[in-house]
């Protein structure tokens, strides 16, 4: 595994030496154009798995925002697509080896907490892992990180403070919440959503948590922003559809892109 991760990192190094990486999730692939952009497809990168979910582009761009070099991953890998946990975190680990110090993750989620509405942007403060796996299972490559990494402040408080400041300056309204990850691909039942709410979840989705665990394992700082695309099952009065999730994502995507564009140059890495 270390060998293919090193090959991927070496390949990406040809594109630049970014210290910040951004992962753009469902329906968000277009929101962050870069200056001087160099683009490769996932399939060009040695060892990278191939994406299959609709709404995902499957490309990596390296370029600049306001003078800061940044890597943007457009599209991501989900467990429900059939990838192994190790494949899902392969990109994040490759970025860590490349020298990335801060990772900005985005996703689409269902809103569970009182008062959330489709289109809301929510800074993830913590997570609950209900995926049924941990991507660090198996032999621990010590070059990557410790066997038992701490997750107390997985979502970096200092990076969240920067996001709050930038959102205030841009007049973008933001909330904070706890993200619960499920395996999917079926949406939740109303009873599951009730249970998740009782557990302390504000948002539900099918991604992000594996990448966060792998990033923290490798000592990469994490900021994660969720776009609520729908009210979760049973809170919504109608059945959920993937089209709804992608549709609202597009409408709110510009604002999320704006927020990320402005906070990237200010991240302390
Ligand atoms: N549930 C799970 N994942 C999601 C949802 C949801 O309601 N909306 C967007 N991703």
pLDDT band at 157 (very low <50, low <70, confident <90, very high): very high
pLDDT band at 51 (very low <50, low <70, confident <90, very high): low
Residue nearest to atom 2 of ligand 1 (CA): 205
Helix 157-170 to helix 242-263 angle (10° resolution) is 90
144 in ligand 1 pocket by Cβ < 6 Å? no
Centre of ligand 1 from the C-alpha of residue 108, in Å: 7
Which residue among 81, 225, 230 is best mutated to probe the pocket of ligand 1, counting the most ligand atoms within 8 A of its Cβ? 230
- pTM, entire model: 0.95
Q: Per-residue DSSP letters for 238-267?
A: S---HHHHHHHHHHHHHHHHHHHHHHGGG-
Domains, the chain, ranges and CATH?
2-266 (3.40.50.1580)
**Per-residue pLDDT at 248:** 62
**Per-residue pLDDT at 244:** 76
116 in ligand 1 pocket by Cβ < 6 Å? no
Beta bridge partner(s), residue 108: 227
- Our answer to whether residue 262 is catalytic in this structure is no
The helix or strand, by DSSP H or E, that contains position 121, with its residue range, turns out to be: strand 121-130
109 in ligand 1 pocket by Cβ < 6 Å? yes
């Amino acid at each position: 595994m270390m060998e293919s991760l090193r090959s991927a990192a070496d390949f990406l190094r040809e594109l630049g030496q970014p210290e910040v990486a951004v992962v753009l999730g469902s329906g968000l692939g277009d929101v962050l154009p870069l200056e001087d952009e160099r683009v490769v497809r996932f399939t060009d990168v040695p060892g990278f798995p191939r994406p299959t979910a609709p709404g995902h582009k499957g490309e990596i761009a390296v370029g600049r925002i306001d003078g800061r070099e940044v890597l943007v991953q457009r599209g991501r890998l989900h467990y429900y697509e059939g990838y192994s946990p190790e494949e899902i975190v392969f990109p994040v680990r490759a970025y860590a080896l490349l020298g990335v110090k801060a990772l900005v993750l985005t996703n689409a989620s269902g809103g569970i907490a009182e008062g959330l509405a489709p289109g809301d942007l929510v800074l993830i403060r913590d997570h609950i892992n209900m995926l049924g796996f941990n991507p660090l299972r198996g032999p621990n490559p010590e070059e990557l990180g410790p066997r038992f990494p701490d997750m107390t402040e997985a979502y970096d408080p200092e990076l969240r403070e920067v996001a709050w400041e930038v959102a205030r300056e841009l007049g973008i309204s933001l909330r904070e919440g706890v993200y619960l990850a499920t395996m999917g691909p079926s949406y939740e039942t109303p009873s599951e959503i009730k249970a998740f709410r009782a557990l302390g979840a504000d948002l539900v989705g099918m991604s992000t948590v594996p990448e966060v665990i792998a990033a923290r394992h490798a000592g990469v700082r994490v900021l994660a922003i969720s776009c609520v695309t729908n009210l979760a099952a049973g809170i919504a009065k109608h059945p959920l559809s993937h089209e709804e999730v992608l549709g609202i994502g597009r409408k709110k995507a510009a604002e999320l892109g704006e927020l990320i564009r402005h906070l990237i140059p200010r991240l302390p890495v």
